[in-house]
Amino acid sequence: MTIIDNAVYVDGVRTATPQSLEQTFETLAKHGGMAWIGLYRPTQQEMAGVAAEFGLHELAVEDAISAHQRPKLERYDNNLFTVLRPARYLDETESVEFGELHVFTGSNFVVTIRHAETAGVAQVRHRLEDRPDLLRHGPEAVLYALLDQVVDDYAPV
């Protein structure tokens, strides 16, 4: 599995950068806070541990793995599954490239799944890490910032 970034935040501050998902789950259980796991095109087997740990609905996990979803927001119990379609303009070919970003949010976690090359998620993470006052609001603040970035990135397109 390609883990792009993996962190645990307590009170808006990155307190751990685990090297594996198992370490993330252990750190979260021991210290509390919020986990933010960034993945790139995971397989069904790779998502199984994340889904089991955070109680992700099997239909949403299936959608997140298969990609090619329309933009949407679905609630499954206490978790949200959001599909975003970021866009970027490619100067060299004078064309627009659409990506796909899936976001699972729960009470103490955010899982972002990319199905295309995009710098937007990393930009959001860095911006929020520079603003612990915003990041301490938890998963909802991350989802809001991701939505804001995707919409802002439409302007050049």
Name the least confident of 14-18, 58-62, 63-67, 136-140. Answer: 63-67
Q: What is the pLDDT of residue 155?
A: 85
pLDDT at 17 over 60: yes
Q: Cα dihedral angle (142, 19, 14, 47), rounded to 10 degrees?
A: 20
Q: What is the pLDDT of residue 153?
A: 87
Q: What is the pLDDT of residue 118?
A: 73
Would you list the domain boundaries of the chain?
A: 2-154
pLDDT at 13 over 80: yes
Q: What is the pLDDT of residue 1?
A: 56
Closest to 103 (Cα-Cα) out of 157, 156, 145: 145
Q: pTM for this structure?
A: 0.92
Q: What is the pLDDT of residue 95?
A: 87
In the predicted model, what is the mean pLDDT of residues 71-83?
95
The span from the CA of 114 to the CA of 38, in Å, is 8
Instruction: Tell me yes or no: is domain 2-154 CATH 3.30.460.20.
Output: yes
Q: What is the pLDDT of residue 46?
A: 84
